Amino acid sequence: MAGHSKWKTIKRAKAATDKKRGAMFTKLIREITVAAKFGGGDPAGNPRLRTAIDAARSQSMPRENIERAVAKGTGELEGVDYVEVLYEAYGPGGVALMIQALTDNPTRTVAEVRAKLSRLGGNLGAVNSVAFMFDRKGQILVAANGMDEDATMEKALEAGAEDFVKEDDAFTITTAPADLHLVYGALEKVGLKAESAELSWIPKSTIRVEGETADTLLKLIEAIEELDDVQKVDANFDMDVSEMAQA
């Protein structure tokens, strides 16, 4: 079981608490703001914004919050100027980490990320120190409950997907980066409602971790993702599902 995808599924269940939901809202609002800043405030003409708004709605974010985030991105309301940054790092067991953030203060963010890494057995790497181990891809997650796998795969491939994998209760659909929003929209038109659609760093191969190393690694990833500035973390680990669920 590839860790980076299964861990996402487990995190969705953990995000149901009010504390987790509030942190998720913060990250979604930043993505909406940045999407509107670079692509305009009309979701019909800005696929990244449309995807971000759909993600916010799937988490029951109030419409007023969404509209305010868009207005800040377009400059109609005063807002924070966020920049996109990427940090490369190593975690316990030699696992490679790709850490994506949206921040108004990169100096603060890198210090916070470095502190989490140091406390939990990781270290920050130089540019391109781990990026070569990953491919940049679009990933769409569709709930598998009640869906015919063959029919769903056919629809996904017809829409332009590169790959299709069923893992437990979800289908993971992989696309070229430039095709993410196009495939996402095509799937919606044929009645497949995606739970999430995002650009991810997909590992070319994985490192098996177990026991205390696995536990510390998951604690590290979660600690980094809890930082307000961090949007997501991709990693190249593999471990038993039971160890993930315990963590």
Q: What is the CATH architecture assignment of 3-74? A: Orthogonal Bundle (1.10)
The reported pLDDT for the residue numbered 9 is: 58
With a pLDDT cut of 90, the percent of the chain lying above it is 62
Predicted TM-score (pTM) of the model is: 0.85
Instruction: Decide if pLDDT at 33 tops 90.
Output: yes
Instruction: Decide if pLDDT at 2 tops 90.
Output: no
Instruction: Decide if pLDDT at 15 tops 70.
Output: no
Same-fold call for 83-132+206-239 versus 134-203: yes
User: Residue ranges per domain, the chain?
Assistant: 3-74, 83-132+206-239, 134-203
The reported pLDDT for the residue numbered 169 is: 79
**For the packed helices 3-14 and 211-225, what is the interaxial angle rounded to 10 degrees?**
60
The amino acid sitting at 79 is: G
Q: Residue 12: which pLDDT band, with cuts at 50, 70 and 90?
A: low
Q: Kindly report, residue by residue over 126-181, the tens digit of the pLDDT.
A: 999 999 999 999 999 888 888 888 988 998 999 999 999 887 778 899 999 989 98
Q: How far apart are CA 27 and CA 226, in angstroms?
A: 10
CATH fold, domain 83-132+206-239, is Alpha-Beta Plaits (3.30.70)
Q: How far apart are CA 205 and CA 131, in angstroms?
A: 12
The amino acid sitting at 91 is: G
CA-wise closest residue to 73 among 21, 120, 34:
34
The amino acid sitting at 126 is: A
Instruction: Give mean pLDDT, residues 63-87.
Output: 94
The reported pLDDT for the residue numbered 190 is: 84
Q: Kindly report, residue by residue over 89-128, the tens digit of the pLDDT.
A: 999 999 999 999 999 999 999 999 999 999 999 999 999 9
The reported pLDDT for the residue numbered 1 is: 40
Q: What is the CATH architecture assignment of 134-203? A: 2-Layer Sandwich (3.30)
